[in-house]
Amino acid sequence: MRKPASAYRGVQVFTYKELEFATDNFSEANVIGNGGSSVVYKGVLADGTVAAIKRLHRDRKQGERAFRMEVDLLSRLNSPYLVELLGYCADQHHRLLIFEFMPNGTLQQHLHHPSSEYRPLDWGSRLRIALDCARALEFLHEHATPTVIHRDFKCTNVLLDPHLRAKVSDFGLAKMGSDKTNGQISTRVPRTAGYLAPEYASTGKLTTKSDVYSYGVVLLQLLTGRVPLDIKRPPGEHVLVSWALPRLTNRDKVDDMVDPAIQGQYSKKDLIQVAAIAAMCVQPEADYRPLMVDVVQSLIPLAKNFNSVNSPGFLRFHRQSSGLKY
């Protein structure tokens, strides 16, 4: 039987049977992620490629046209800082998306569920991850045409490769904005506790600056090791942003908020600079938040200087091995 050709450049079309075989008939043992609208399986394709296979639920409120638009969007977002779409399946009523597999799990697992498999991240790794994520959002906001708003940027959507370099995932929720400078959309979005920009509650609108806010929350998690919302903490410490903001700009208190796992691994100067970036990103007023291109430019010297000092061969090795850049 002849395989159907893909209408999308660089994206392969798979049959449902091929994906059944790749996942051992969608075995529970191969489940690596489970969300409200899909289940993600680890699978091995016919050519030996290990992939993450996202099986969308049948009752998902998305028509054929919307699915095709999603595939079209994903196929055009080509960046070393975004998880790559390898293919898709639209076989009868089955809808699946096939992505590159990221073997080191999610940032969420490393920060909040450390184990023998997911070790705690050191300061240098956190700087590099912060920069990789910033570059991913910069690409969506500045280099995608039209502008793309991620809408659900969070630690579980940051995946890590064998070298602990980060790529951003879950663009099934992404939407194209209406203009290049501040792409704005009015929409209902998943209310991931602690990540959603405050203006959404009052206006129902999201812009690129809403992604900046979510990025700031992730940067705070990298700094503090805390989750965005934790009702088990003492009063006044439940919401990460509210607790962190007054400390981020206080030179005497900023040390006290740092994750104990990275104490002593950074200079006070670098810590203050990263804290200042985080403080700007989570400003309540969207207009006061920076553009992601500015965040990238602020982080480049911090990541580059730290890693060149602590690991002289690091920059050369990673440029060759991963295709990523500073």
Annotated binding site: 54
SS3 readout for 238-272: CEHHHHHHHHHCCCCCHHHHCCHHHCCCCCHHHHH
| Radius of gyration of the chain measured on its C-alpha atoms | 20
From 190, 200, 187, select the one nearest 170 (Cα to Cα).
190
Spatial separation of the C-alpha atoms in residues 18 and 25, rounded to whole Å: 10
Q: Cis omega (within 30 of 0) on the bond before 146?
A: yes
Angle of CA points 105, 107, 113, to nearest 5° = 80
Residues flagged as binding site for ATP: 54
Provide the pairing of β-strand 85-91 with 148-149.
unpaired
Active-site residue flag, 152: yes
3-state helix, strand, coil in the chain (%, to 5): 45, 15, 40
The Cα 178–Cα 291 span in angstroms is 17
CA-CA distance, 127 to 303, in Å (whole number)?
5
Nearest residue to 164 via CA among 127, 135, 139, 138: 127
Phi first, then psi, for residue 310 (nearest 5°) are -90, -20
Task: Tell whether the torsion through CA atoms of 212, 234, 273 and 250 is positive or negative.
Answer: positive
Q: Which of 152, 170, 211, 259 is catalytic?
A: 152
Cross-strand partners of 40: 33, 54
Dihedral of alpha carbons 222, 227, 233, 237, sign = positive
Amino acid residing at 196? L
* Residues recognised as catalytic: 152
